[in-house]
Chains A and B, each alone.
Chain A
Amino acid sequence: MLVTGGEPPVLAYRGCDVGYGEVTVVRDVDLEVRAGEAVALLGANGSGKTTLVRAALRLAAVQRGSLELFGTSVDRARDRARVGYVPQRHTVATSVPATVAEVVACGRLARTSPLRRLSPSARRADAAAVHRALDAVGLAGRARSSVGELSGGQQRRVLIARALAAEPELLLLDEPTAGVDAASQQALASTLAALSATGTTLVVVTHELAPLAGVVERAVVVRDGRVVQDAPIAAVTAAGYDEVGHHHDDDHHDGEPHPGEPHDAWLPRPAVGG
């Protein structure tokens, strides 16, 4: 056991192979994320970083080794209510109209039950949490807007608010800055910094470090389905990300979905952080 001291790691991959069906995407991963850490999972498209996170949500299968969430096997669904998840997606609009608040309220459900929701005080508490989450992403004024009316960047913020509404101890974000304008990226960075300051553990999958450089403190670099570097953020930025960035992914077919992800956005932007 690698546990030292009281609390188990929030997330612990031990000799993990992860994939979908017969396909193995990530191999032999040993990785621990401790409570309160803010970790970036870096890598080019197709490197396997999204799959690594999806395993913690049981959206990808652990094929070998073990994966523990809050010290228990990831298969025990109970603890997943403590996890917030922002999927890699650009839109929330569905075939039936829904308001921003209606979508964000979904984030509360893992923490409640149909009978508990009968109590007006429980419903008020849920509504308050939804409002706080919308406030955190700057959409409090749009709570009653139809999500279909929002821009792409705003819809991304709705997905982030849905995760925040769960008041998670561990927040997993998959490419939260991709396809989002600079103002929204800065707003997201300050939101995440505030969460991190209050003890929320953050794991951010990204292929561009710059927008979140002030938030994450540790970088785990994934390449070709293996963890090739795990170091404090300063060490990774000092070495330059070009090593990873020039790695084009067109020849990889690992089954990892990448809807609309931009391809050349990896290189660092000197303007922010570093």
Chain B
Amino acid sequence: MSAVEILDYDFMRRALLAAALVGLAAPVVGVFLVQRRLSLIGDGLGHVALAGVATGVLTGAAPVWTALVAAVAAAVLVELVRWGGRTSGDVVLAVIFYGGIAGGVVLISLAPSGSPANLTAYLFGAITTTSAADVRVFAALAVLLLAALVLLRPWLFAVSNDEEYARAVGLPALAVNVALAVMTAVTVVLSMRTVGLLLVSALMIVPNAAAQQLAGSFRATVLAAVGIGLVCSLAGVGASYYADVPSGGSIVLATITVFLVAVALRAVLDRRHRLPRSGSRGGPAPAATPDPGGVR
């Protein structure tokens, strides 16, 4: 079997294209989620998108659009709850997220031809399900998403890096946070054919976790994470074809493999780095110029 064989099938070309789009976009959105320590928010929005999918199946509307509406609405709501800053915010998030998955299961059961088993493809990805219409919608969403990310990158970085400072100097922190939440929701929807709603969060987070083991700058982290996300998405879809496994599972396992390799590489590099200087502070690398900061 040649690797090119998979390109002979229309459904595989569509699946690979959809995987490339989400593999490209997910790590770029995810890096800001990691920075804000909101790594699991994508998971929650995936739960809510499932209710959107079920609504689509029930009403005969395209699931992509109903999932988009549900995920974006939940994203905005979540960010407003967080902004309110009440201590119960955590509980509110749990209610929204589990309400989403419970609603999804119930709604799909109400559909004439539906059963919760129909949701499996959406949860874990299935390469045969990507339609030509899906690919067109995904491509349009991905272009919008990446354009917004390029334009807003410095603001997303500033607010995610130090929200209090951003607010203090008058940056529109709430608007930036809502924008990030909406971008996360769009990414979740992009994922629904290949990675799956239950696993998309991994594609947002794990490539970044791998990249930051080795990168020294934000820019390098993002570029490396995008490379990892893209390669793992394509490889995962290929593996799904040959091994007949859900593509979401193979994509995420590929990212975790890269992560483990990066961690091992980091450990080796640290060891080499530390041998000549034993007195470092235990940070990622010793400071190059002497500065006894912190000593009074």
Chain A residues with Cβ below 8 Å from B155 are 109, 114
Q: How far is the CA of A77 from the CA of B168 in the complex (A)?
A: 9
Q: By CB atoms of chain B within 10 A, which of A78, A97, A152 has the most? A: A97
* In the complex with contacts A98-B217, A148-B283, A151-B294, A57-B168 CB distance below 8 A: yes
Count of A-B contacts judged by CB separation below 8 Å: 150
Chain B residues with Cβ below 8 Å from A141 are 289
Q: Which of A29-37, A99-107, A214-222 is found at the contact surface with chain B?
A: A99-107
The size class of the interface chain A forms with chain B is 35 or more
| Contact assessment for A149 and B293 in the assembled complex, using a CB-CB cutoff below 8 Å | no
Candidates B154, B169, B284; contact of A149 at CB < 8 Å: B284
Q: How far is the CA of A184 from the CA of B219 in the complex (A)?
A: 29
From residue 76 to 105 of chain B, which have CB atoms closer than 8 A to chain A?
Answer: none
Candidates B35, B154, B284, B286; contact of A94 at CB < 8 Å: B35
Output the least CB separation between A79 and chain B (Å).
8
| Contact assessment for A102 and B217 in the assembled complex, using a CB-CB cutoff below 8 Å | yes
Number of residues from B at the complex interface, CB < 8 A: 44
| Contact assessment for B157 and A106 in the assembled complex, using a CB-CB cutoff below 8 Å | yes
Q: How far is the CA of A203 from the CA of B257 in the complex (A)?
A: 52
Residue of B nearest to A155 (CB): B293
Chain A residues with Cβ below 8 Å from B221 are 96-97
Using a CB–CB cutoff of 8 Å, the interface residues on chain A facing chain B are 54, 57-59, 77-81, 83-85, 87, 90, 92, 94-99, 102-103, 105-107, 109-110, 114-115, 117-118, 141-142, 144-146, 148-156, 162, 166, 179-181, 184, 262, 265
Using a CB–CB cutoff of 8 Å, the interface residues on chain B facing chain A are 31, 34-35, 37, 151-152, 154-155, 157-158, 160-162, 164-171, 208, 212, 215-221, 281, 283-289, 291-296
* 5 A-B pairs with the lowest CB-CB distances in the bound complex, closest first: A153-B293, A80-B170, A151-B293, A152-B294, A152-B293
